[in-house]
Amino acid sequence: MFETPTIADFLAQSNLASTLPGTLLVLWTLILVLVDLFLPEERQRWTPILACVGLGISFVANLFVYSPAESEQIALYGMFVADAFTGFLNVVILVATLIAILMSWDYLNRADIHRGEYYVLALLSSAGAMFMVGANDLIIIFVALELLSIPLYILAAFRSIKNDGSDLALKSEESGMKYFILGAFSSAFLVFGSALVYGATGTTNIPEIFSLASAIAGSVSSAAFYLIIGAALLFVGLGFKVAVVPFHMWTPDVYEGAPTPVTAFMSVTAKIGGFAAMLRLLVSGLAALVIVDGEPVAWQATVSLVAVLTLVLGNFVAISQRNLKRMLAYSSIAHAGYILVAVAATGTTGVADAATQSALVYMLAYMFTNLGAFAVVMSIEREDGSGGNIEDITGLARSRPLMAMAMTIFMLSLTGIPLTAGFVGKFMVFASAVQAGLFGLAIIGVLTSVVSAFYYMRVVVNMYLRDSSGDLQPALETSAVRWAINIALAGTVIFGVFYPLATNLVSSVSIT
């Protein structure tokens, strides 16, 4: 049964070259662990610099693997697929990690918890996300998801390594613990769903599931039943990761308690990984469940319903938040809802590609904007953790005009005002929803973004329209976080003003 493969055969089948962006990053990380051990105390800043070098290497590898002329490549015995979808999201993940590392350098020093392991964990997590976006097999989805999540659990609790019994350390510990327990819980759903799908189809490979599913779904048999239940459980498991209603309960506490750069990082990468896997499963794998005889079926209605709940709850609850991190947490739930609108639109025949592309553009816009907003919040936070409330940014336009301007642009982008990346994302998503015939969903989507304007604009109101009575705050942040804000701002504005840039980048994406 077990044949010993020849080396040549192994190389051909595994096609390791096309997984290089991810594998190189993992290798670099493993080296970084050792290097960090031997770095003397006064050279601590080398670790983040080396981590950024690792991101650069991975980025270059990504350019080589995904030159646009190449069509999709299958690797690791069919378990991994390197196509335009993977290549695009890899870049998004790498940029997100870069911004997060720039933020972290500043934060860790300020909080006096600088440890080299932090960067190692962050890189591992982003490698996990990179494998997840290319996963072509239920098993890889699970393994990559764990690689993505486990470092995040640790990172969420990172503040508590300085065990001073402060409120911050406790909250961070709570955050990590909560995230871990609920994360493990959701993984169980994912694994059980995979098992049921495997039971129904006899394979865990997504393209093979695709070819088998239509026959099974059309039949009246227990296999069809298991397939549907399995698919639903997979959706629940991924739904936890991307924090859509009703699987969002953990989000506000975890986001508030975790160190701010970690919150920023996980609000982006975990969502990208989760949505990528969700799109692969629904579009490439289980299309037969979604579309029967060319008509969208109950599946689309379910996703639409979840999207509506997510949009409404995320946006309305965000209104009542006073803490900026908590507000951004609820807003990130709402943004998951907008991406879900695109996911729902994939369920209509002929719209799948357009909707997938719109989801990718949305994730790109969300990545820049959300990281930027978190970076601003982080730089006005004080060491004792205070300063993160909506009142604390009052008069920021006077004390730090450039930062206030950046924050304004991030808020406008999150609202979806034209000339920012957020508008391009929203426009693409609603265009695909309209094309898919989901008018109700599109209308709820735009109306909830008016609701979101209310709480985003409140931030701008406090920065510009009110004047602080107290003293002007001194600048606490270092140049690293300023760079993080600048990169995020550049992305938000460039992709917003030069609309064709984003659409051209994703124009070759097709996962059907």
Partner 1 sequence: MDLTGLSLTTITLFIPMIGLAILLFMNGETQRDNIKWVAFGTSIVAFVASVLMWVNFDPSVAELQMVQRNTWAEVSLGESVINISYFVGVDGISLLLVLLTTFIMPIAILGSFGSNIFEERGREKLYYIFMMLLEWSMIGVFVIHDLIIFYVFWEVTLVPMYFLIGIWGAEERIYAAVKFFLYTMAGSILMLIAILYVGNKSGTFSTYSAAGDVGVIEMVQTYEGEGSYWDPVPDEEEDAGFLLSSVESFLFLGFLVAFAIKVPIFPFHSWLPDAHVQAPTAGSVILAGVLLKMGTYGIVRFNLTMFPEAAVAWAPTIAFLGVVGIIYGAWVSYAQDNVKKLVAYSSVSHLGFVVLGIFALNSQGLQGATLQMVNHGISTGGLFLIVGMLYERWHTKEMADYGGIWKMMPAFGAISLVISLSSMGLPGLNGFIGEFTILMGSLGSEYLGFAFTLFATLGVIMAAVYLLKMFQHVFMGEHDNPLSDETRYKLQWNEIAAFIPILIMIFWIGIQPIVFFNMLDMSVDSIVALFLP
Which spans of this chain sit near partner 1 (rule: CB under 8 A)?
A: 350-351, 353-354, 357, 412, 417-419, 423, 427-428, 430-432, 434-435, 439, 442-443, 446-447, 449-450, 453-454, 457-458, 461, 464-466, 499-500, 503, 507
Report, in Å, the least distance between residue 417 CB and partner 1. Answer: 6
Residue 53 vs 472, nearer CB to partner 1: 472
Residue 177 vs 431, nearer CB to partner 1: 431
Q: Is the sign of the CA dihedral 39, 45, 51, 57 positive or negative?
A: negative
Report, in Å, the least distance between residue 438 CB and partner 1. Answer: 11
Q: What's the Rg (C-alpha) of the chain? A: 22
Q: Virtual CA dihedral for 319, 325, 331, 336, nearest 10 degrees? A: -150
Residue 113 vs 419, nearer CB to partner 1: 419
Which residue, 161, 223, 154, 235, is CA-closest to 192?
235
- Reported as half-sphere exposure (CB side, CA atoms, 13 A), residue 405 has a value of 8
Q: Alpha-carbon distance 449 to 331, whole Å? A: 10
Which residue, 397, 406, 282, 408, is CA-closest to 347?
282
Helices of type H across 202-323: 206-218, 222-242, 251-257, 260-279, 287-290, 298-319
| Type of residue found at 3 | E
Residue 170 vs 419, nearer CB to partner 1: 419
Report, in Å, the least distance between residue 317 CB and partner 1. Answer: 18
Report, in Å, the least distance between residue 464 CB and partner 1. Answer: 6
Residue 17 vs 431, nearer CB to partner 1: 431
**Which residues share a beta bridge with 296?**
291
Q: Alpha-carbon distance 99 to 265, whole Å? A: 8
Report, in Å, the least distance between residue 323 CB and partner 1. Answer: 21
Q: What is the 3-state secondary structure (H, E, C) of 150-174?
A: HHHHHHHCHHHHCCCCCHHHHHHHH
Residue 97 vs 449, nearer CB to partner 1: 449
Q: Alpha-carbon distance 440 to 93, whole Å? A: 32
The conformation of residue 384, written as its DSSP 8-state character, comes to T
Report, in Å, the least distance between residue 302 CB and partner 1. Answer: 22
In Å, the largest CA–CA distance within the chain is 78
Report, in Å, the least distance between residue 305 CB and partner 1. Answer: 19
Report, in Å, the least distance between residue 485 CB and partner 1. Answer: 18
Q: Alpha-carbon distance 49 to 38, whole Å? A: 15
**Which residues share a beta bridge with 80?**
75, 135
Contact 356, 307 (CB under 8 A): no
Angle (deg, nearest 10), helices 206-218 and 167-201: 60
Report, in Å, the least distance between residue 349 CB and partner 1. Answer: 9
Residue 374 vs 455, nearer CB to partner 1: 455
Residue 256 vs 353, nearer CB to partner 1: 353
Residue 216 vs 363, nearer CB to partner 1: 363
Report, in Å, the least distance between residue 444 CB and partner 1. Answer: 10
Report, in Å, the least distance between residue 463 CB and partner 1. Answer: 11
Contact 73, 87 (CB under 8 A): no
CA distances in angstroms from 347 to 43, 184, 281, 300, 304, listed in the order given: 53, 29, 12, 6, 10
Residue 197 vs 279, nearer CB to partner 1: 279
Residue 10 vs 439, nearer CB to partner 1: 439
User: Which secondary structure element, helix H or strand E, spans residue 30, and what is its range?
Assistant: helix 20-38
